[in-house]
Amino acid sequence: MADSSSSSLSSLLGNDERRTSPIPYRVKPLEYEPPIECKCNKKAAMWISWSDDNPGRRYLKCFKARDGGCDFIGWFEGPHHPFVQTLLIDLRDAVWSLKKQKASLRQAVAELVEKVERLEDKVDELKEENARLDGFEGEKEYLEGKVERLEREKKLMR
């Protein structure tokens, strides 16, 4: 259903990106109405699938399925039109790609901030060294003057 750009983007993403929703849930999993019960006689949770086969499609599942609940699972609505499905896959992949780029850029910024801080420390060290050397400038001039006087005295003594 999805074009090659969707497939290639999906393959570039790691497992973590593929498991997260590309968008925040607007309604929490148990806040839908009317309630639908699972086999445990509890309200089933509503989730959103982001698989290539069912992007953006809502489904119901036992809220405790991972912690010993029942195996109840069912679609809340029918499948999307193929055009909408392809569009959702492309949008999902674009969001995942942008999130990955954002994380990469944040990491690069953090590294550059560290580098700038190290360089600022180095600049401070060099300024201190410059100030120390500037203190020797007056002493250098004094000693050069003394050497000059001694050389003149030496010439006079010959």
| 139 in any annotated domain | no
| 85 in any annotated domain | yes
For residue range 63-113, what is the model confidence (pLDDT) as tens digits?
999 898 999 999 999 999 999 999 999 999 999 999 999 999 999 999 999
| 98 in any annotated domain | yes
| 153 in any annotated domain | no
| 129 in any annotated domain | no
- The number of beta carbons lying within 10 Å of the beta carbon of residue 45 is 21
| 32 in any annotated domain | yes
Helix (H, G, I), strand (E, B) or coil at 21: coil
For residue range 106-136, what is the model confidence (pLDDT) as tens digits?
999 999 999 999 999 999 999 999 998 888 8
Q: Can you give the residue range of the structural domain that contains 46?
A: 4-110
Which pTM was predicted? 0.63
| Whole-number Å distance between alpha carbons of 14 and 129 | 49
Total structural domains within the chain = 1
